Structure 1
Amino acid sequence: MTLTQEKRDEYYQALVEKDSTYDGIFFAGIKTTGIFCHPTCTARKPKYENCEFYLTAEEALLAGYRPCKICHPLSFPHEIPDEIKRLVQAVEEEPEKRWQERDFRDLGLHSATARRKFKEIYGMTFVRYARSRRMGLAFKEISNGSKVIDQQVATGYASPSGFNDAFTKIMGNPAKRTDISILYAYFITTPIGKMLSLSDDHYLYLLEFTDRRGLERELEGLRKSQNFRIIPGKNDINQEVERQILLYFDKKLKVFDLPLFRKGTPFQKDVWALLEKIPMGEVRSYKDLAHDLGDENKVRAVGNANGANQLAIVIPCHRVLKTSGELGGYAGGLERKQYLLNLEKEIKEELC
């Protein structure tokens, strides 16, 4: 979530004063070292301009920061068992790795026990931690937008191919073909979190919150099915996406006008077409959409199609509720869903 200037000032003061009342409230990412810390970390305090602040450890991980070895920010308020330290160290040594049962055995650990302890201490599953660290590194390189050779030197790889291999593992391994197309990745900062925009020179292929469940699978699926290579870039379409998204959050836009690439089955595309017809400030139920498609028994299928939408906000899957009126699911999180619905009511009142 985007913090106000006042809140950032407050958190920096707490960091400088090592105020223990803020431990567990926020985490400080230090740009110059690439680590994130507790407010009470005993390390030398950085300058204000070198700090970024996060409300959760996952946000810091997704921003590309690694946990500090001095204050162990993820351990608050617990001590870390040796086996958990070994897991965290193993992730740092090979952040691109997708963990399997044998990897736990190679460390001399029982996977079920290690996973349970990890969740108890860190408040997140080990799979989620490893994924967030992996995605964070990839996002950091995209966000930096620096030349490949600069990224290569900064990350310590001896050759461009070494860096590219690691980056490819983190972002997903495309098919070995010669007709590779380019997708340009760009980050958009919104009041409710950072979004990733992927486009070529013709279409917007993906717009998602960076902490969305399943985003890594979406990226891999997109790369493999279309044989894309993802590189940093702010092309005309990404710039237009940013312009319209910021107008939307500023309550100055009711209808998006973007060239969208809808990757899905005919049924999914039918559902998404109905979503786009839901007026700003209004909602529908999954049952309503199933009825409009001619079969009220397809409520579950409608829900699955809703969840498969890869173009958040612009194809408004957040406008669909349970028949009971409850929010239902939303891969970006229910707090975001409620925020968007409230925002759109205000937009409707102001722009109608």
Structure 2
Amino acid sequence: MSMAERKEEYYKALLEKNSEYEGLFYVGVKTTGVFCRPTCPARKPKFENCEFYETAQQALLASYRPCQRCRPLSHPNHVPEIVRVLVEAVEHNPEKRWTGQDFKNLSVDESTARRQFKKRFGMTFVEYARARRMGLALKKIRAGEPVIDSQLSAGYESSSGFRDAFSRIMGAAPTLVDERRILKAAWIDTRLGPMMAIGDDHALHLLEFVDRRGLEREVERHRKRTRSAIIPGMTEPIRSIERELGEYFEGKRTTFETPLFLAGSPFQQSVWEQLIKIPTGETRSYLDLALSLGKPKGFRAVAQANGANQLAIVIPCHRVINANGDLGGYGGGLTRKNWLLQHEMGVK
């Protein structure tokens, strides 16, 4: 079934409030900024105003908030008190980074919250709060708007949450940016999920899946290192990588030509240069890389440098596996890593 056919099927289920589709998809409504379950009793949106997601986390990262009528973060007709309290707390202060003390202030057991959210939604509460915070901050980046004003689109209660979430990650309130030190960020949809690209007029600085754990801190570190602020927008290197990624996923490209800005130590950069040399469709172990650098005992340092790569796919850290043949780790998730390796074996 094609993506277009699946969307048509999901929209039909939405119109019919078909309970058989509960848990199979969520719908984001562009005109209201909320996401709903298939059986939501609210007035149905037009097809062109719908975006469909397989998980609540995907909808959150796309900047949608939970619908107050159908409450997609609960079982139908049953809203656990702990879920209600925590979701309301996030909406009250969506840019908050949660700590143990925050749970105590709400008289909520942190481990119970973790289990409840993980069991029901496939993510912990902290992951939910992060996805909501990131989605809020990425809202204008996703929309591709080059200038941010103080107002939000319909569906958001106030502008302060967006501005705070954006500025904490990107480094400055959108209207207070020093134009001499600006990087631009854009949302790129790919076959394996959305990615965020950051670049200037000369090179690509960062390319990561938006659901990568630790992405916020990665962006913060980079803009502090470069003494830059980051605003939504497009540059030629970002246009270039968007085009090349499309060709890569179609099996028409195996190497990338977009100019890169490598922000790392000399050792990290030497590791990344070795990664780029790994042929498409092949893999290397951390030990192999250490030996190629003349540092046979440095495989742990190589692994750390591999993990510090902030240009996913382009610098192919997914081609590095454990010496025993296991996939090892990957910031974008092992499912994506396995897909990328299988895809490259088929097009080499």
TM-score after normalising by structure 2 = 0.91
* Conservation of the 8 A alpha-carbon contact between 1:172 and 1:219: no
Deviations 1:1-28 (A, max 9, x none): xx71111111111111111111111111
Cα offset, 1:77, TM superposition: 6.4
Separation in 2, partners of 1:166, 1:131: 11
Separation in 1, partners of 2:151, 2:318: 37
The within-5 A match list for 1:322-337 is 322-337=322-337
- Cross-structure match for 2:258: 258
The within-5 A match list for 1:63-212 is 63-76=62-75, 79-146=78-145, 147-149=147-149, 151-152=151-152, 155=156, 157=158, 164-171=163-170, 181-212=181-212
SS in 2 for 1:190: coil
Consecutive unaligned residues in structure 2, runs of 5 or more: none
Separation in 1, partners of 2:45, 2:51: 11
Separation in 2, partners of 1:260, 1:104: 42
Partner AA of 2:32 in structure 1:
T
Distance 1:47 1:179, change over 3 A: closer
SS in 2 for 1:69: coil
Deviations 1:112-147 (A, max 9, x none): 443343333433111101100000011112122333
Partner AA of 2:190 in structure 1:
T
SS in 1 for 2:330: coil
- State whether structure 2 residue 34 is matched by structure 1 residue 54: no
SS in 1 for 2:28: strand
SS in 1 for 2:48: helix
SS in 2 for 1:224: helix
Separation in 2, partners of 1:178, 1:52: 35
TM-align CA RMSD: 2.5
The within-5 A match list for 1:221-240 is 221-240=221-240
Separation in 1, partners of 2:144, 2:179: 24
Distance 1:98 1:225, change over 3 A: same
Deviations 1:149-200 (A, max 9, x none): 2745755657xx98644521354569x9979611111121111111111001
Deviations 1:215-235 (A, max 9, x none): 111111112222221111111
SS in 2 for 1:148: coil
- Cross-structure match for 1:284: 284
Cα offset, 1:78, TM superposition: 8.7
Of residues 333-342 and 91-100 in structure 1, the stretch that sits farther from structure 2 once superposed is: 333-342
> Percentage identity across aligned positions?
55
TM-score after normalising by structure 1 = 0.90
* Conservation of the 8 A alpha-carbon contact between 1:180 and 1:229: no
Higher helix share: 1
Give the count of matched residue pairs.
Answer: 344
Separation in 2, partners of 1:81, 1:36: 19
Partner AA of 1:228 in structure 2:
S
* Conservation of the 8 A alpha-carbon contact between 2:113 and 2:124: no
Distance 1:74 1:342, change over 3 A: same
Consecutive unaligned residues in structure 1, runs of 5 or more: none
* Conservation of the 8 A alpha-carbon contact between 2:169 and 2:217: no
* Conservation of the 8 A alpha-carbon contact between 1:309 and 1:317: yes
SS in 2 for 1:234: coil
Distance 1:278 1:40, change over 3 A: same
SS in 1 for 2:73: helix
Deviations 1:287-306 (A, max 9, x none): 21122122333222222211
* Conservation of the 8 A alpha-carbon contact between 1:182 and 1:231: yes
